[in-house]
Amino acid sequence: MGKQPAAVVGVGQTHHRAKRLDVSMAGLCREAIDRALEDANMTLDEIDAIVVGKAPDLFEGVMMPELFMAEALGAAGKPLLRVHTAGSVGGSTAIVAASLVQAGVHKKVLTVAYEKQSESNAMWALSVPLPFNMPVHAGAGGYFAPHVRSYIRRSEAPTHVGAIVAAKDRNNALKNPYAHLHNEGTTVESVLASQMLWDPIRYDETCPSSDGACALVIVSEDIAAASPNPAWIHGTVMRSEATTAAERDQVNPQASRDAAAALWKQAGITSPIDEIDAAEIYVPFSWFEPMWLESLGFADANGGGWRLTESGGTAMDGVLPVNCSGGVLSSNPIGASGMLRFGEAALQVRGAAGEHQVDGARKALGHAYGGGSQFFAMWVVGAEKPTN
């Protein structure tokens, strides 16, 4: 039978905050689900199957929380899957949901990813001592800072490029009513003046810790016909590599390069910088924008990335607008962050991104990564039905 076309016809997300004390975990998910269903003009009863994604269960202190939430998520009497692939999980979950439609098994699939970090303590959850494993008591920032320093050394980047990314994303977030951070007046200078946390990463160059959820409705070709603006899925990819290996290049991991190559091929894209109109890239620390721009093939390795960022090429009006939503730097409900990238990409090609819409966006990238840069999930969505 071959792969069936699939499209995103509904996108919903919560207002992301440090602590959403007004809702339970299920309530948080339902806020995103109800918005996605309304966007898709559908009810929960019409949904065939539900795919749930989130990062480690220790983040909330509940083992496999989708079990207790099954009824609240509308999954009672339906198939339910739970995906967990580290920080890339929001992307992987959307891909598994898409595969349910692409395999021809279901026609209307709802997927939701969330994190309610305020229920527990992410720093603790990430720092459980493990036998025979290098301790990472520094948290994610301490883990990634050496990668960033290595990138700066290799690419001879000027040290203010990270601040350019942070100022851009925080200002983009002002156009996104759902973003966690709405820090008005953020400038390159104000970012550079903020506290140094893990050299060269400053406070304003880090993502917040958020409560939030994102939901998508993914449907088959015949169902998508009823939608005024479906976002067609042109390609999906997942790749994983080892955490620790002497030959690993953590700055530009092979799994990332392999994933990008496979994705562009699947989507029929030969020149990503020319053919992609908007990109939502997982940038939890500012410097990852230039790093991923190179790894994804938008710019030449060892310097093309920071030059593109420095030139203003990744701003809303640039050659490749990156993270118009404000990105992970402005909202980071970890398990949902990847799905937010995928969903924001869909909003762009549907012309439904509101104030942060890129004019005339026809093809967009959604990108997520996780762990110590060894897990990757990406997709390309387009306003047109794929021809391949």
Partner 1 sequence: MRDVAVVGFAQRQMPEFDGSPTCVEMLVPLLAECYEQTGWTRRDIGFWCSGSSDYLAGRSFSFVSAVDAIGVIPPVNESHVEMDLAWAMYEAWLKIQTGEVDTALVYAFGKSSAGVLRRTLGLQLEPYTMTPLWPDTVSLAGLQARAGIDAGAWDEAAMAEVANRSLTDAEKNEYSIRKGGSSVEDLLARPMYADPLRKHDCSPVTDGAAAIVLAAGDKARDVRDKPAWISGLSHYIDPMGMGTRDLTRSPSAARAAAALDLSGVEVAELHAPFSHQELILRRELGLADDVRINPSGGALTSNPMFSGGGIRIGETASRIWSGEISKGVGHATSGPALQQNLLCTLEGRN
Q: Of the listed pieces 34-42, 59-67, 176-184, 357-365, which binds partner 1 according to CB under 8 A?
A: 59-67
Closer CB to partner 1, residue 57 or residue 275?
Answer: 57
Quote the CA–CA distance of 267 and 3 in Å, as a whole number. 13
Closer CB to partner 1, residue 58 or residue 352?
Answer: 58
Should residue 21 be labelled a site residue for partner 1 when binding is judged by CB under 8 A?
no
Residue from 190, 254, 301, 319 that binds partner 1 (CB under 8 A)? 254
Should residue 70 be labelled a site residue for partner 1 when binding is judged by CB under 8 A?
yes
- Alpha carbon 206 to its chain centroid, in Å, reads 15
Closer CB to partner 1, residue 120 or residue 229?
Answer: 120
3-state secondary structure of 146: helix
Quote the CA–CA distance of 299 and 291 in Å, as a whole number. 10
Should residue 64 be labelled a site residue for partner 1 when binding is judged by CB under 8 A?
yes
**Kind and range of the H or E element at 139?**
helix 139-155
Restricting to residues 39-58, name those near partner 1 by CB under 8 A: 55-58
Should residue 247 be labelled a site residue for partner 1 when binding is judged by CB under 8 A?
yes
Should residue 373 be labelled a site residue for partner 1 when binding is judged by CB under 8 A?
no
Should residue 243 be labelled a site residue for partner 1 when binding is judged by CB under 8 A?
yes
Closest CA to 344 of 366, 314, 363: 366
3-state secondary structure of 185: coil
Restricting to residues 78-97, name those near partner 1 by CB under 8 A: 78-86, 92, 96
Query: DSSP code of 45?
Result: G
Quote the CA–CA distance of 380 and 306 in Å, as a whole number. 23
Query: Least separation, in Å, of the C-beta of 279 and partner 1?
Result: 21
Query: Least separation, in Å, of the C-beta of 70 and partner 1?
Result: 5
Q: Of the listed pieces 15-23, 175-183, 195-203, 240-248, which binds partner 1 according to CB under 8 A?
A: 240-248
Closer CB to partner 1, residue 91 or residue 326?
Answer: 91
Q: Which residues contact 369 (CB under 8 A, 6 or more apart)?
A: 87, 88, 256, 282, 292, 375, 376, 377
Indicate the pairing of strand 108-116 with strand 201-202: unpaired
Residue with tokens 């990332």: 256
Query: DSSP code of 127?
Result: -
Strand partners, 212: 115
Residue from 18, 24, 177, 203 that binds partner 1 (CB under 8 A)? 24
Query: Least separation, in Å, of the C-beta of 362 and partner 1?
Result: 24
**Kind and range of the H or E element at 116?**
strand 108-116
Should residue 18 be labelled a site residue for partner 1 when binding is judged by CB under 8 A?
no
**Kind and range of the H or E element at 109?**
strand 108-116
Q: Let me know: does 80 contact 140? Beta carbons within 8 Å.
A: no
Q: Contact letters (x/-) for partner 1, 328-347, by CB under 8 A?
A: --------------------
Indicate the pairing of strand 363-370 with strand 211-220: unpaired
Query: Least separation, in Å, of the C-beta of 361 and partner 1?
Result: 26
Q: Of the listed pieces 179-187, 199-207, 252-260, 273-281, which binds partner 1 according to CB under 8 A?
A: 252-260
Closer CB to partner 1, residue 152 or residue 224?
Answer: 224
Q: What is the CA radius of gyration of the chain?
A: 19
Residues making contact with partner 1 (CB under 8 A): 1-3, 24-25, 55-65, 67-68, 70-71, 75-86, 92, 96, 99-100, 102-105, 125-126, 128, 130-133, 237-243, 245, 247-248, 253-255, 258-259, 371, 374
